Structure 1
């Protein structure tokens, strides 16, 4: 089995289309979507239309949960922008997405960790910034999840770690937003370091799961220009450079 894992599209339609074209060239038995799909100042509605047509195995992320909140005035700007342009049918699709999903008996899809869509799986945030999580930290977060492969998203960084018990955790990085800043639990930055659209190809072989991280070119300057025109200079810089 060859799985193309996508995450954190954030309404970046051009990045998504470039990734799908790359997957078509590289081949995949199934494409999965790990959440944070639409929120952002780009093309939430058009991205939803495409994904609804494709019918990929898809879970919700924290941004799907947030943009379904009762009061748009209390949402962050990315969720509020998406909420303002999504149709009732698109919101219903988002509402029906599961928090986690089993692709096969031994493949688990999560957004953050198996327990929480806001927790980082393979990174740890400290007062001094963000670092790669230790094996012990990742083992505790994986808890008793029974899967040889756990696919996660949320941090927008391509990373993988194999635990001593054989479980492999893979974050494919972000299709649509290569950098962001957050203040919780401490101020930190997540930066991919280039503006490429990212995903992972994970293949089952006689030796176990093998991971290939992909970085795909697309017209990120056009995406950055759109973010700027929609009042998001933070997104403009992230999309154009891969840095905050």
Structure 2
């Protein structure tokens, strides 16, 4: 593979952010796009995102919220998943079910969380008080055992990050297209914040010296998505979408 690859992840139903990112990718002449999961779930515009992704040439895999939408009963879903579920057609759910959990391309391994679980933060872990920390190298290496590809792609944390391994492999998280901050209670209460409301994605290009990668932050008008989050009673989503922050607002 010699051409530049665009990597997107964690759209979470934010159609305005997705359109802005896809337009930015097209403006650079990039035609290969890989999406790392969690495409529709959120209190926003799931069906619009489905219309953009399902019949596109974008290569997609399945994230943890895609699994929830396509496998759980609606009664068991949390509120944001249920809002998305109610917007989707059966064909959209079938598309999610058919997505692979892992993709292997020429020189590239891709997953949502980690190879062992779509809910594991690969490059980060939680400290004693729930603070996000860079995962120690031995733990990161252990999760990469058995993966020979030089470029490893993951998502799930919504935080743009690259970690280089001593053997020359690189692990790249593109950040989140559509959800720059969230709180969660698993495995303990914690808050994730990107610190920017821009839509994030990454590009990767092979060189003789290894993979050259870049993170991109695309500004867009967040007003409609913020209004949808508020309409569905999701204040934390509205705060994150509008500012990139949850704490201290």
How has the CA–CA distance of structure 1 residues 84 and 143 changed in structure 2, closer, same or farther, with 3 Å as cutoff? same
Aligned-partner SS, 2:54: helix
Residue 41 of structure 2 is matched in structure 1 by: 39
Asked if the contact 1:68/1:91 (under 8 Å) is kept, the reply is: yes
CA-to-aligned-CA distance 1:201-229 (integer Å, 9 cap, x gap): 11111211011100001111221111111
Q: What is the Cα-based RMSD across aligned positions, in Å?
A: 1.1
Mapping 1:125-136, distance limit 5 Å: 125-128=126-129, 129-136=131-138
Aligned-partner SS, 1:18: helix
Matches of 2:86 and 2:223, distance apart in 1: 24
Matches of 1:227 and 1:114, distance apart in 2: 32
Shift of 1:29: 4.3
Mapping 1:1-244, distance limit 5 Å: 1-104=3-106, 106-128=107-129, 129-244=131-246
Asked if the contact 1:15/1:176 (under 8 Å) is kept, the reply is: yes
5+ residue gaps in structure 1? none
Divergent runs of 4+, >6 A: none
5+ residue gaps in structure 2? none
Return the TM-score normalized by structure 1.
0.97
CA-to-aligned-CA distance 1:142-177 (integer Å, 9 cap, x gap): 121121001110000000001011111000000000
Aligned-partner SS, 1:166: coil
Aligned-partner SS, 2:18: helix
Asked if the contact 2:229/2:238 (under 8 Å) is kept, the reply is: yes
Return the TM-score normalized by structure 2.
0.95
Asked if the contact 2:126/2:132 (under 8 Å) is kept, the reply is: yes
Matches of 1:165 and 1:78, distance apart in 2: 40
